[in-house]
Amino acid sequence: MKTLDQYNFAGKRAVVRVDFNVPLDKDFAITDDTRIRAATPTIKKILADGGSVVLLSHLGRPKGGPEDKFSLKHIVSRLSQEYGQQVQFAEDALQAEEQAKNLQPGQVLLVENVRFYKEEEKGDADFAAKLAKLGDVYVNDAFGTAHRRHASTAVMAESFVPADRVGGYLLLSELDNAKKVLEQAERPFTAIMGGAKISDKILIIEKLLDKVDNLLIGGGMAYTFAKAQGGSIGSSLLEEDKMPLALELIEKAKAKGVNLLLPTDSLIADKFANDAETKVAANDQIPDGWLGLDLGPDSIKAFTEVVRNSKTILWNGPMGVFELPTFAKGTTAVAQAIADATRESGAFSLIGGGDSAAAVNQLGFADQVSYISTGGGALLEYMEGKELPGVAALEAEQA
Ligand code: 3PG
């Protein structure tokens, strides 16, 4: 794959696919700008060379037509601040060619949400060819969307000769960091999986069982394991149809010699609210009407001890409902243990997935871990061993 440093953008117009799918509040203010900041080195390199930049991105999941709440116009002022210039905006991806052609070296044009055309997600070749007219070199820095074979993330690369398809800095550093965990992990290697559903994580858990020494499972999905083993979990999250799978995973971990750690206790609540009544209960003895919303103290102790003794750590998914301060202890303690291992024993720690990245940012540990991925689904699919179409399109030899 051609990299940015192998390319001189002087006098070139680069059409750059970024993933600026950032969270916005009800007033359209950006609540987490990590993805914007993460793409800046790529944009600045092109501009510093004397090139101009046409930015393509999606925002949210519009239904194939314009929707104000998903308009990228909401991020223009943030981008202008980031690049130190008034970023131009093209209101329609298919009417942007003239504006793109008028760009002077050093200027940036942001094009409206490509998903306002249903052809984007279909990977329509004609639509892709039209987008390709916006630049004379294609740069993909959208790691977060590299698992989609959409027009702007993969198909439009075919309109450029291989020498004019370039992988951005973010895309390459994401791949490098994921490889450090998958291929060069120092032992002990610990994966911490959390979040609500086993079904979202099953493929990666199975894959990781071949790689890790310790697998820690927390968050909502742990209750399906507890119930499958005969426990009472009250009204905690349950994927009933995944109970056999949970038992199978426990058996597989045993057979492969992986230390699979499940929570033994939980902080339980009488309702899903920050001001709920709470108490600690064994994970297999949660009374009816109560639900587990965080790790309990014994589980926190057991989990953090393993994490602190690890040399490679992969974390995906929170340990509890960290958005509510009452239930943030487990997630905070795990984040702290990861930060300690990274600092004190030089462990390599990779945080992946929207929720755990948000937790690390929100809880103030962002500077204390080795790498925070901007990818949610993309990182999971890469770790599952799937080919990412966005990456494959850059690597293809033929136009
Ligand atoms: C993400 O947020 O994971 C990426 O931007 C991809 O978004 P999507 O799941 O809507 O394709």
User: Residue 233 is part of a domain; what is its CATH number?
Assistant: 3.40.50.1260
**Is the same domain home to 205 and 133?**
no
Indicate the residue among 141, 171, 201 that finishes a domain. 171
Query: Dihedral (C-alpha) 182, 22, 356, 239: value to the nearest 10 degrees?
Result: -100
211 is annotated as an active-site residue: no
- Which residue among the candidates 64, 106, 231, 377 is catalytic per the annotation? 377
Residue 301 C-alpha to ligand 1 middle, in angstroms?
34
Residue 398 included in any domain = no
Tell me which residue of 316, 318, 287, 294 sits closest to 377, measured CA to CA.
316
Residue 341 included in any domain = yes
**Is the same domain home to 50 and 116?**
yes
Tell me which residue of 364, 276, 281 sits closest to 326, measured CA to CA.
276
Residues 6+ apart with CB under 8 A from 379: 143, 174, 178, 316, 352, 353, 373
Question: Structurally, how many domains does the chain consist of?
Answer: 2
pTM for this structure?
Answer: 0.91
197 is annotated as an active-site residue: yes
Residue 138 C-alpha to ligand 1 middle, in angstroms?
20
**Is the same domain home to 268 and 162?**
no
Pocket test for ligand 1, best of 19, 149, 355 (most atoms within 8 A of CB): 19
**Is the same domain home to 115 and 199?**
no
**Is the same domain home to 235 and 369?**
yes
- Which residue among the candidates 17, 35, 211, 329 is catalytic per the annotation? 35
pLDDT per position as a tens digit, 273-317: 999 999 999 999 999 999 999 999 999 999 999 999 999 999 999
Residue 200 C-alpha to ligand 1 middle, in angstroms?
14
Residue 116 included in any domain = yes
Residue 145 C-alpha to ligand 1 middle, in angstroms?
6
**Is the same domain home to 205 and 289?**
yes
**Is the same domain home to 288 and 262?**
yes
Indicate whether residue 19 lines ligand 1 (CB < 6 A): yes
**Is the same domain home to 57 and 199?**
no
Q: Residue 289 belongs to what domain range?
A: 185-383
User: Is the CB of residue 390 less than 8 Å from the CB of residue 148?
Assistant: yes
List the chain residues with pLDDT less than 70.
Answer: 398-399
Q: Is residue 343 a known part of a binding site?
A: no
Q: Is residue 356 a known part of a binding site?
A: yes
pLDDT per position as a tens digit, 305-331: 999 999 999 999 999 999 999 999 999
Q: Is residue 20 a known part of a binding site?
A: yes
Q: Which atom of ligand 1 is nearest to the CA of 375?
A: 3
**Is the same domain home to 12 and 106?**
yes
Q: Which atom of ligand 1 is nearest to the CA of 58?
A: 5
Indicate the residue among 171, 202, 225 that finishes a domain. 171
pLDDT for residue 398: 57
- Which residue among the candidates 167, 354, 375, 376 is catalytic per the annotation? 354
Question: Which residue's alpha carbon is at the smallest distance from atom 6 of ligand 1?
Answer: 145
pLDDT for residue 196: 87
Within 10 angstroms of residue 314's Cβ, the number of other Cβ atoms is: 29
Q: Which atom of ligand 1 is nearest to the CA of 376?
A: 3
Q: Is residue 149 a known part of a binding site?
A: no
Question: Which residue's alpha carbon is at the smallest distance from atom 11 of ligand 1?
Answer: 145
Residue 176 included in any domain = no
Burial status of residue 11 (CB atoms within 10 A of its CB: 0-12, 13-18, 19 or more): exposed
Indicate whether residue 115 lines ligand 1 (CB < 6 A): no
Residues 6+ apart with CB under 8 A from 387: none
Q: Is residue 327 a known part of a binding site?
A: no
- Structure token pair of residue 80: 């202008």
pLDDT for residue 295: 98
Residue 123 included in any domain = yes
Burial status of residue 8 (CB atoms within 10 A of its CB: 0-12, 13-18, 19 or more): exposed
Residue 396 included in any domain = no
**Is the same domain home to 379 and 261?**
yes
**Is the same domain home to 85 and 230?**
no
135 is annotated as an active-site residue: no
Q: Which atom of ligand 1 is nearest to the CA of 60?
A: 10
pLDDT for residue 267: 98
pLDDT for residue 32: 86
Indicate whether residue 148 lines ligand 1 (CB < 6 A): yes
pLDDT for residue 397: 74
Rounded CA-CA distance 4/169 in Å is 7
Residue 203 included in any domain = yes
Q: Is residue 164 a known part of a binding site?
A: no
354 is annotated as an active-site residue: yes
**Is the same domain home to 136 and 191?**
no
Residue 177 included in any domain = no
Residues 6+ apart with CB under 8 A from 345: 308, 311
Rounded to two decimals, the ipTM of the complex is 0.99
